[in-house]
Structure 1
């Protein structure tokens, strides 16, 4: 028979333990987030500044982003390999995370 106290817990299949529902929901939310890493393995987040690590030809804009170009604020797209960013000459720019490096905090 299940007591009222046991009904407040949820069974976690990974650990094989009964856990608080709030803890289980938090764990599920963090596991569903995509981790985006830059060219050297640093974890990227929304609003981070990045620098381009190699010259990139931008399709549709007939321009090249030169190595060392600083992009001040990025947005994560939900894809582990793509980030959205803005450059003064190019709007709606999407870059592969493997071609950028996170700026060091000042």
Structure 2
């Protein structure tokens, strides 16, 4: 151990003693995911996207047409899914491969 005042914790994933700050930074980097649209653009919370193909919405009995604009998306933590709102459809989750950033 070091003689400085920094706290060290045991990282079970690597089997090493590391500083608490370094472990927190490593875990934050591992938990952040990059969500990319169908053409490779990086998506972020609040972006607007356009559908690139017709999608049947399960449970709603409707089809969202290609070219439909979805405003103010939210990232879910999954690199392939985005959460969004659209009139008349609650809890709409789209796959990132079917949208293009505006």
Q: TM-score, normalised by structure 1?
A: 0.73
Q: CA RMSD in A?
A: 2.5
* Alpha-carbon separation, structure 2, partners of 1:66 and 1:8: 56
Change beyond 3 A, Cα 1:3–1:34: closer
Aligned to 1:8: 6
Higher strand share: 2
Alignment of 1:25-104 (within 5 A): 25-103=24-102
2:11 maps to what in 1?
none
Q: How many positions carry a matched residue from both structures?
A: 96
Query: Which 4+ runs in 1 deviate beyond 4 A?
Result: none
Secondary structure at 1:30 match in 2: helix
Which sections of structure 2, spanning at least 5 residues, go unmatched? 9-17
Secondary structure of the residue aligned to 1:39 is: coil
TM-score by length of 2: 0.76
- Segments of structure 1 that go 5 or more residues without pairing to the other structure are 11-18
